Homo-oligomer: A and B are copies of this chain.
Amino acid sequence: MRQTQLFTRTRREAPKDEVAKNAELLIRAGFIYKEMAGAYAYLPLGLRVLNKIVGIIREEMNALGGQEVLLTALQNRQVWETTNRWSDEVVNNWFKTKLKNGAEVGLAFTHEEALTNLMRDYIRSFRDLPAAVYQFQTKFRNEERAKSGIMRGREFLMKDLYSFNVDEITHQAFYDRAKQAYLRVFDRVGLGGETYLTFASGGSFSKYSHEFQTVSEAGEDLIYVHEAKRIAVNKEVLNDEVLANLGLKREELVEKKSVEVGNIFTLGTRFSEPLGLSYKDAAGVSKPVFMGSYGIGPGRVMGTIVETHTDDKGIVWPESVAPFAVHLLALFDEAGAVKAAADTLYENLTKQGIEVLYDDRDVGAGEKFGDADLIGIPKRYVLSAKTLQKGEIEIKDRATGVVTMKALSDL
């Protein structure tokens, strides 16, 4: 894409009320726009990153056998009353609104109820199981405070998958595969090194749930990391019994602040029983479906990447989620030779299927360099009168700062 065509521009400063580093950098670099606290619009660069994260998650969910759907934000009061989650005293972050006839409806903060209810139309016998159903859908949560940028929104995109199995044993097998799929997601988006499978509080149906916690000073959680085993324990469940249970020694653990980038949970029959989602087993006996839920917020993942992949000049995107692979900077000369060569190079690279942001703006070199560092595309190609004379281009790696020269004819 030609940068002169991009409607966004970099800004010196984020809005004054913005306190989160991720939002500050993303706003300054033109990836997002703050509509209000906890609600951010994604601009062209930001949407490209978000879509890449979504694409990686989708691939892993499909590989798990997940079937994609798109549920509604508007929610029926009756369904949520059945599971005792309608009341504001039980769930304190509902957004609710009203139909013209006065009936109250909610804006979904999650979809266990809606999907469990829907699945009653499709699950009858053990032959209809297992099933795994997921969506990328906008959730609404009426957060008291929303100061973490795109890491905790009042309105945010969520991938939520729900699994449906005949019993706990088959559930557990799927759950273990989902755990591996989640680890692959965080590896692939570039958070693998600092993300730990973390034991957290379970529920009636399992001793633990599992969180995926990324170590970051911006995190709201405290975890205790066992580096060698690549696992962690959430502070909320850390006690002697749990340590014994997991075969961990307190002194081997290091306390760290972290961001919960994913969470998987055994629901058991918590929702299927009250909502009547059951199946007939081989003997014709009706049994409640055994469920699990599996969540990742692509926006939160994006915010966490920014929190953990920056230097004092700006963002340093991992290749897999970068808005473009190459940022081509043309330092124009008066004769116009650089522009002509850069135009040709841009066309050639694009034809090869390489995603290029081409800085063809008529501004100084300093501004181009500064903006490129702030935006954080992995490879910076600089073409100037000097490099052109040698038939070369300068390639700088955003992450390492390593500069190499390459013959234009090799591109």
By a beta-carbon cutoff of 8 Å, the part of chain A in contact with chain B is 5-9, 11, 33, 35-36, 39-44, 47, 50, 65, 67-76, 95-100, 105, 107, 114, 118-119, 121-123, 128, 131, 133, 138, 140, 142-144, 154-155
A77 → B minimal CB distance (Å)? 10
Residues of B within 8 Å of A121, CB to CB, are: 11, 33
Q: What separation, in Å, do the CA atoms of A96 and B100 have in the docked complex?
A: 12
Can you give 27 A-B contacts (C-beta < 8 A)?
A5-B65, A5-B67, A6-B67, A7-B123, A33-B118, A33-B121, A35-B75, A36-B76, A36-B105, A39-B74, A40-B72, A41-B69, A41-B71, A42-B69, A42-B70, A44-B68, A47-B69, A47-B70, A50-B70, A73-B155, A74-B154, A97-B107, A97-B142, A99-B142, A100-B142, A100-B144, A107-B107
Q: What separation, in Å, do the CA atoms of A7 and B124 have in the docked complex?
A: 11
Residues of B within 8 Å of A98, CB to CB, are: 95
A117 → B minimal CB distance (Å)? 9
Q: Give the oligomeric copy count.
A: 2
Residues of B within 8 Å of A44, CB to CB, are: 67-69
Contact partner of A47 among B68, B105, B144, CB < 8 A?
A: B68
A170 → B minimal CB distance (Å)? 15
Identify the closest chain B residue to A118 (Cβ): B33
Residues of B within 8 Å of A74, CB to CB, are: 35-36, 39, 140, 154-155
Nearest 8 Cβ contacts at the A-B interface: A42-B70, A39-B72, A7-B131, A35-B72, A41-B71, A39-B74, A95-B97, A97-B97
A97 → B minimal CB distance (Å)? 5
Q: What separation, in Å, do the CA atoms of A138 and B136 have in the docked complex?
A: 12
Q: What separation, in Å, do the CA atoms of A142 and B118 have in the docked complex?
A: 23
Contact A43 B65 (CB under 8 A): no
A356 → B minimal CB distance (Å)? 16
With known contacts A5-B65, A122-B7, A138-B138, A41–B72 Cβ distance under 8 A: yes
Residues of B within 8 Å of A119, CB to CB, are: 7
Residues of B within 8 Å of A47, CB to CB, are: 68-70
With known contacts A74-B154, A97-B107, A142-B100, A114–B35 Cβ distance under 8 A: yes
Identify the closest chain B residue to A111 (Cβ): B41
Residues of B within 8 Å of A138, CB to CB, are: 73, 138
Residues of B within 8 Å of A69, CB to CB, are: 41-44, 47
Q: What separation, in Å, do the CA atoms of A42 and B11 have in the docked complex?
A: 39
Q: What separation, in Å, do the CA atoms of A39 and B76 have in the docked complex?
A: 10
